[in-house]
């Protein structure tokens, strides 16, 4: 009888410990924290932010304030990934390539209601520091669809490649680079 009781208690313990905890929140890479850290670093360094814009075979170069750069970066990326709950709409995939010394964390979604459809983060496995951040963003402005490919290289630059699609015109490409 005691033996049966012990087996029953062991069975019940295993059942409860193997049950999936549905209250556990998904853990995601802190994308917003990385962006804020980069912006704080830029704010604290005595560097200028240069904007280089290429459109219709014309190149325009200008210095912009750090405050203006922060608004642009937050508007493009930050506000959409600020809340960890926003990332719940995404599927996470992680690839580790030790030969290339790279860990790639990818977030993708099929949801049409979110502006950013893909986020890709490249991390150095030796230092655990982000090497680069890539995002694909689609916005609708009136009758024009704007598709942006955004590449943030840690400590160096932000590159935005935009294509404007309109039913009445041919697609227009614009590349904007911010260096610091």
Q: What sign does the dihedral 162-53-63-180 (CA atoms) show?
A: positive
Say if CB 96 and CB 123 are below 8 A apart: no
Instruction: Give the per-residue pLDDT at 11.
Output: 46
Q: What H or E segment, with its residue span, contains residue 89?
A: none
pTM score:
0.79
In the chain, where are the structural domains located? 29-89+134-179
Say if CB 126 and CB 150 are below 8 A apart: no
Q: What is the pLDDT along the chain (180 residues), one digit of tens a residue?
A: 554 444 544 444 444 444 444 445 566 778 788 888 999 999 999 999 999 999 989 999 999 999 999 999 888 876 666 665 566 778 889 999 988 889 999 989 888 888 888 999 999 999 989 999 999 999 988 889 999 999 999 999 999 999 999 988 899 999 999 999
Instruction: Give the per-residue pLDDT at 164.
Output: 94
Q: DSSP letter at 129?
A: -
What strand order describes the sheet that includes 169-179? 58-64, 49-55, 169-179, 157-166, 144-153, 130-141, 116-123, 102-108, 91-97
Instruction: Give the per-residue pLDDT at 98.
Output: 83
Instruction: Give the per-residue pLDDT at 24.
Output: 53
What is the per-residue pLDDT across 3-36, written as a single tens digit (0 to 9) for each?
444 454 444 444 444 444 444 556 677 878 888 8
């Amino acid at each position: 009888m005691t033996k049966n009781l012990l087996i029953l208690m062991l069975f019940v313990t295993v059942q409860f410990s193997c049950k999936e905890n549905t209250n556990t929140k998904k853990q995601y890479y802190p994308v917003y924290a990385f962006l804020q850290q980069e912006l704080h670093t830029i704010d604290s360094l005595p560097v200028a932010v240069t904007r280089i814009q290429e459109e219709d075979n014309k190149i325009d170069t200008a210095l912009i304030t750090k405050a203006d750069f922060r608004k642009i970066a937050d508007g493009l990326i930050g506000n959409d990934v600020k809340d960890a709950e926003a990332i719940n709409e995404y599927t996470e995939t992680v690839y580790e390539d030790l030969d290339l010394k790279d860990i790639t964390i990818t977030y993708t979604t099929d949801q049409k209601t979110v502006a950013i459809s893909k986020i890709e983060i490249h991390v150095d496995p030796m230092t655990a520091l982000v090497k680069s951040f890539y995002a694909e963003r689609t916005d609708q402005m009136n009758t024009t669809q704007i598709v942006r490919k955004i590449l943030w290289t840690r400590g160096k630059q932000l590159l935005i490649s935009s294509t404007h699609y309109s039913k009445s015109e041919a697609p227009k490409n614009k590349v904007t680079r911010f260096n610091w």
